[in-house]
Amino acid sequence: MKKKHVIPVAVLSSALLMGTVSPAQTLAVSPNANTEVVQKKVHSEGKGKPFFVKQMQSEKQKSADGKNAKEFLNKNKAKFKMDKPEESLESTKVTKDELGMTHVKLQQKKNNIPVEGNEVTVHYSSDNRVQSVSGQFNEAIEKEGLPSKASLSASESIKLAKKAVEAPDQLVESPDSELVYYSFQGENHLAYKVNVNFLGDSPGNWSVYVDANSGEVIDQYNKIMHAQDYKSSKGSGIGVLGDQLQLHITHKNDKSVRPGTNFYLFDNSHEDLEGIYTYDMKNQWGESDLQFPGVLFSSPNASFKDSYDRPAVDAHYNSEEVYDYYLEEHDRNSIDGEGMAIKSSVHFGEDYNNAFWNGEQMTYGDGDGEFFVPLSAGLDVAAHEMTHGVTTYSAGLKYRFQSGALNEAFSDIFGALVDEEDWEIGEDIMAEDARESGRTSLRSLSNPSKYAVGSKYTEYGDGNGKYPSHMDEYYDLPKDLDNGGVHINSSIINHAAYLTGEQIGKDKLGQIYYRALTVYLTPDSDFSHARESLIQSAVDLYGENSAEAQATEDGLNQVGITE
């Protein structure tokens, strides 16, 4: 009997490839290839449907500010399915971007209490005309008769939250408790959002949602971990493919690891970044003995050269490369844009042929040695996984059907932009046997159809059984097969990006796709919404009739995304 391993996920798990089938039918399926990636409810569940309305052609307003944005929404409220926008929205942030556009962010409120996760942004052109409106607005909460008063006190909510996360008596700071309306799994609650932050054996910085009347804990998640007392140093190592790499590491004395000074794959050298951490899962599945993220990868000296060290060396080095890419190209400080810690775990499971982002961190298997080598060897794989994080903290694309395929596509596209030599994904992680059988990468943006998708998917496509590169070859998959084709239909978007990139180059392609991901796309965006968002981003950056906007549109037209 094969043991079924269930990967614990915090928020949202996005794997590098389809979870239940070996990517190439001709190769032996590894004993653990049936590892399932469990899809837990996404935190954005139950939000209002995202929208993006453009070409509003509004009158010129005196200024681009919260008051005028609300007035505008009020005039157009039927279009936005809002009942009382002036009452239900509160301006929270006004930002002017490098193009002279102003973005006015408004938080949805009810009874003066924020509706968690629902906000609307009014985008103004430089001459103060409303150019577009995007965001999410929960109509149900606006209309529903929900309680406005809590029968539970804030201090009672804190007690319940601390109990739910098994917090010790000693906390880093006294917990905050704030009333919000929270929509989870289809139900709307008046809830306390409680922050509980503590150190100790398993430190935590938790957000816990407690129903303000029943006292039920609705939802909870852990946000960050901190490490202290580590001193920076330089180290070196050898990667999976034999590269000699310089590393940022730290050291400290910790007898519980081994006597004397220990060196860690923990990089605290970047200002305003909480650190880059690489952990060892010791070939465990994160079930009983060793919980995520594992133990911080360590060595008795500053040189990480054992064969067991190699996947960790690559994960650590590649994380910093991807961090540098986002900082230098997009002025984005880490995954959340605010310097959150970048964490990876290596040696996950046994012969595990996959890598994933679990909502908080990257995780890499060692591969079975026949199809894959340790998956952290691929810079594009690291960029793919980290981009899932960027997506979580920006567009929040839901991991199913077209929004999920967009989520996967943005990860592949930024994979190919960071690892910029080619338009292939995974060319550095293919093992000898796979290469010999003609599988030289995992997916191709330039020619998706050179690889087969796997026989169980074939009947849902055009019968060809290849990755699609056009809407005519779209796979109409049910949700229980690859979450409705997230790793398959993504290749249509991948190919559109390639076609555009060939015209304007990778740098400009990156600017356009990054702007769409972080400014316009929302959790339920589909391919058509992506088309509008991408073209609008290119117009914002390079102008209405620019070659860049034309190339963006061309790429999408050529793959059959024409409206």
Instruction: Answer whether 250's CB lies under 8 Å from 328's CB.
Output: no
- Given the rule CB under 5 A, which of 220-228, 234-242, 251-259, 403-411 is the region that contacts Zn ion? 403-411
Contact 214, 191 (CB under 8 A): no
* Segment interacting with Zn ion, rule: CB under 5 A, options 87-95, 234-242, 407-415, 491-499: 407-415
Whichever of 426 and 510 has its CB closer to Zn ion, that residue is 426
Q: How far is the CB of 482 from Zn ion (least distance, A)?
A: 11
Question: How far is the C-alpha of 136 from the C-alpha of 47, rounded, in Å?
Answer: 7
DSSP annotation of 302 reads S
| Per-residue exposure over 478-490, b if at least 16 CB sit within 10 Å of its own CB, e if not | eeebbbbbbbbbb
Output the CA–CA distances (angstroms, integers) from residue 147 to 36, 180, 188, 202, in the order listed: 40, 11, 10, 36
207 interacts with Zn ion by CB under 5 A? no
Taking CB under 5 A as the binding criterion, the range among 130-138, 406-414, 462-470, 540-548 that sits at the site for Zn ion is 406-414
The DSSP code sequence of 447-512 is -GGGSB--HHHHTTTTSS-B--SSGGG-----TTTHHHHTTTTHHHHHHHHHHHHHHH-HHHHHHH
User: How many residues in the shown chain lie near Zn ion by CB under 5 A?
Assistant: 2
Query: In the complex with Zn ion, which residue's Cβ is closer, 14 or 44?
Result: 14
- Give the separation between CA 95 and CA 109, rounded to whole angstroms: 21
Footprint of Zn ion on 32-51 (CB under 5 A): none
Give 42 or 122: the residue with its C-beta nearer to Zn ion.
Answer: 42
CB of 382 to Zn ion, least distance (A): 12
Asked if 262 touches Zn ion (CB under 5 A), the answer is no
Distance in Å, CB of 355 to Zn ion, minimum:
8
Phi-psi group of 4: left, alpha or beta (phi > 0 → left; psi -120 to 50 → alpha; rest → beta):
beta
Instruction: Say if strands 266-267 and 276-280 run parallel, antiparallel, or are unpaired.
Output: antiparallel
- The H or E element containing residue 556 is helix 547-558
3-state secondary structure of 365: strand
Selected from 134, 411, 441, 491, the binder of Zn ion by CB under 5 A is 411
Q: Is 14 in the site for Zn ion (CB under 5 A)?
A: yes
- How many CA atoms lie within 13 Å of 281's alpha carbon, on the beta-carbon side? 28
Comparing every residue's Cβ against Zn ion, the nearest one is 14
Q: Quick one: 150 or 379, whose CB is closer to Zn ion?
A: 379
What number of residues does the chain have? 563
Three-state SS for 156-218 is HHHHHHHHHCCCCCCCCCCCEEEEEEEEECCEEEEEEEEEEEECCCCCEEEEEEEECCCCCEE
Minimum distance from CB of 288 to Zn ion (Å)?
27
239 bridge partner residues: none
Q: Which is closer to Zn ion, CB of 134 or CB of 392?
A: 392
Q: How far is the CB of 437 from Zn ion (least distance, A)?
A: 23
State the catalytic residues.
Answer: 385, 487
| Euclidean distance between CA atoms 212 and 302, whole angstroms | 51
Count of CB atoms situated within 10 Å of the CB of 31: 12
Which residue is associated with the tokens 């590169």?
Answer: 469
Q: How far is the CB of 561 from Zn ion (least distance, A)?
A: 20
What is the Cα 203 distance to its own chain's centre? 23
Least Cβ distance, residue 157 to Zn ion (angstroms): 36
Q: Name the residue nearer to Zn ion (CB basis): 132 or 354.
A: 354
Name the residue nearer to Zn ion (CB basis): 85 or 523.
523
Beta-sheet pairing, 342-348 with 362-365: parallel
Instruction: Give the x-and-dash track for 268-287 against Zn ion (CB under 5 A).
Output: --------------------
Site for Zn ion in 446-505 (CB under 5 A): none
Give the residue with the Cβ less far from Zn ion, 116 or 482. 482
Stretch of residues binding Zn ion (CB under 5 A), selected from 116-124, 175-183, 410-418, 532-540: 410-418
**Least Cβ distance, residue 409 to Zn ion (angstroms):** 9
Interface ranges with Zn ion (CB under 5 A) = 14, 411
